[in-house]
Structure 1
Amino acid sequence: MKATTPALQASLLLALFQAATGSKLVVATEKGLWRWDATTGVRYEAKFKEAMNVNGRMTAAMTVDRVSGRIFYSHHVSTQNVTMVQQMYDRGDLKLKQGEKKKMAIHSTVRGLAYDEETSTLYWTNMVDPSIWRCQLNGADCTEELFITLKGQDPAAISIHEGHLYWTDNNHTSPSINRIHIWEQKSSVIVRDGLFMPNGIAVDPSGRGRIYWTDDSEGDAYKIESADTDGGNRRTELRGFYQSPMDLAFSPPTPEAPKGALYWSDWANDAVWTLDLDATDRTPRRLPTLNGHLPMGLVVLQATDSA
């Protein structure tokens, strides 16, 4: 994996990519707010810049509320001083709304973020004190609540689907893919064998019931795998070299891409890649330039998210 710097003074960048399907990919990097057209590489709307300090290369996590049209992302001032930002967007044209932003203080490290639209609740993983936290959003500030302690784990990315949380544990001695129901307090390992350092995780919400994850494998290799939501029917979607895949986003199926597509951030090349799951040629495509910016969290907004 690419070496990190001792300290990185940075600002948060959200970059929006125009995908072939009409959806947009929102990417957090460390240099302000930009919007990209993924097919031409043209940048515009240099707005929404946020000052922040990042301790090393700590991820700016990100998630989306498609019902209300909100993006959530985190600022790390220190490991115990985090600002959670709520940014509104237009569900019709998917543009971020200037000035419609809310900040909430969080007192635990945020590595991965997930939002449950049924209960209006944010969930996040904490790698410093291995655990999952949550807060229910009802118009007031986010009041933190410990959801579950994960002793012996290094919880990384997190996703939610039909009342279940899914997360990657990239503890190098016992990496795993895990699941828990939001009304329970007992987690289960659904994938254990053949993992090295799983990072990003995403769920296909279309009803096919499939989870995807990235694995920064030993040496220069990496892979992306998938399985049913109980860990069964596991398969490899992509194997490659010379990338360090981090966060992962799933783009739901469309008439042009019935199986959907994957997007992931790559710290080895400061790049974002995509893979069409319908393609017979499993060669990932690198999105237009980030100009050396470090990609972190990412989510997909759909044109069909309009009210």
Structure 2
Amino acid sequence: MSVGQQAAAALSSPDGEPAVPEMAWPEAAALVVRQVAKRYGPVTAVDGVSFVVRRGEIFGLLGPNGAGKTTLIRMLTTLTRPTAGELFVGGESVSKNPVAVKKLIGVVPQVNNLERELTGRENLVLHALLHRMPRGDRDRRVQELLDYVGLDGRADDRVQHYSGGMARRLLIARALMHRPPILFLDEPTVGLDPQTRRKIWDLIQVMNRSGVTVLLTTHYIEEADSLCHRVGIIDRGKLIALGTPRELKDRLGSFCVECFAGEGTRRVFFPARQDAKAHAGTLAGDVTVRRTNLEDVFVELTGREIRGG
């Protein structure tokens, strides 16, 4: 059995079935993706993906750039039609009721698409007008969200003068303007410094505690591990593992023994620290015993590391 086959077996459920969720629809589901595929000519961007996002959870799609994460977001948010399969958002069919779906979702894209010549406040007002919010509610909501994301002091500055972190917070405020129960975040902290990234993490957790269901894509291991209740690992358009971060790591082995030798790095996984230490004691060279992380899961499944772009 190859390393990839061994890893796939380890990451399966105890009865040997692939680690994919039951289609708990509709009572517990905010999002349902059923055998969805997207092809661009000869290129398959998404290949038969199925998963459920439960109401009130933070669900992460983890994988390298080009894995199909953004394509899935675009299909769920009505921007791209699937080649095959079904998508449901808040009980509404994305293909049959796209207008109803748009009312249920907020979207924070990876690329900053704010109106740079407008102020932060004006960007929020514009979004409210597009959603036909009553003026009184609109003005209260704008101020509430500016306070919420910490931009009240810069609300009347043009967005072209905002830092990357400020723009990202305004994008989140804009997505929340019409009070959607479901929020999509596509690589929400890409390109941000570590301190700003942590602030965005805090904001995501606060939103979730207020009842917002969050689906985010990321190629940052720590982000998925720290934020997400469950993680789907996606590679080359396929969902290759799904579970809580702890479940995925424990299926592989909670502790990793890394041995740096002349031919490269070898990793062996163990359920208990004492077993890992015992094995490490038999090895020569530079040996490390550490906790298993989600990148280990990805590497064992694919034979390569997660790399962002």
Higher relative contact order (CA closer than 8 Å, sequence separation 6+): 2
State which structure, 1 or 2, has the greater radius of gyration over its C-alpha atoms.
Answer: 2
Higher strand proportion: 1
Alignment TM-score, normalising by the size of structure 1? 0.26
Alignment TM-score, normalising by the size of structure 2? 0.26
Higher helix proportion: 2
